[in-house]
Amino acid sequence: GIRDCLLSRGLGDVYKRQKLVLVAILGSVLLLSGALAFQYIGGYPPCKLCYWQRYPHIIAIFFGVIYFYTLIAKIAYISSGASFLSAAFGAYHFGIEQGFWPGPNTCSSGDVSTLSTDALIEQIMSAPITKCDEVLWSFLNISMAGWNTIFSAFLGILWITILMKPKNTAVV
């Protein structure tokens, strides 16, 4: 098959790199699919920051597929950066959930003691369904934002590993 053809032509490094690229792309696909499954099957509505964590995975998948076919290293840097960006959004969101720092006013519960009745009603009516500082689901005491941070950072590291593979058989 393809593997034997590549290996017979001395392109084993390309084959190994392609396998890692597929793992990295699949990782982003699985994280994005998991988020959508929690939303549409599990009934967990996402907050604004949840959406922010998803967009970089779409970018990582798109440029990952382009890199898979071209092996142009500059393209893989985009997927790596996108994975780390999702991890950063996840860490920021996790910190808000844990009360380490305040979240955006449009996404978090705030102090309402100083609001007038009209301002309080306005805030309630314009509030999103899900607040960024509320944990709707967790596993091992780690929220979805925390798990996204862990797995997205791993994917960013995987992309760097791919970029560190010998480049003598790839277009750089």
User: What are the two backbone dihedrals, phi and then psi, of residue 139, each rounded to the nearest 5 degrees?
Assistant: -135, 130
| pLDDT above 90 (res 66) | yes
pTM equals 0.76
Instruction: Return d(Cα 93, Cα 150) in angstroms, integer.
Output: 13
| DSSP conformational letter for 142 | E
- Report pLDDT for 138: 81
| Spatial CA neighbour of 84 closest among 13, 19, 163, 168 | 163
Of the listed ranges 38-42, 60-64, 166-170, the one predicted with least confidence: 166-170
| DSSP conformational letter for 116 | -
| Spatial CA neighbour of 77 closest among 86, 68, 67 | 67
- Report pLDDT for 58: 97
pLDDT tens digits, 111-149:
556 667 776 677 656 555 678 778 788 889 889 999 999
Q: What is the pLDDT averaged over residues 76-81?
A: 95
Burial class (CB in 10 A: 0-12, 13-18, 19+), 6: middle
- Report pLDDT for 107: 72
What percent of the chain has a predicted confidence (pLDDT) above 70? 77
- Report pLDDT for 25: 97
| Spatial CA neighbour of 160 closest among 89, 80, 85 | 80
Compare 2 and 84 and report the one with higher pLDDT. Answer: 84
The alpha carbon of residue 28 and the mean position of all alpha carbons in its chain are separated, in whole angstroms, by 7
- Report pLDDT for 143: 92
pLDDT tens digits, 93-104:
999 999 898 888
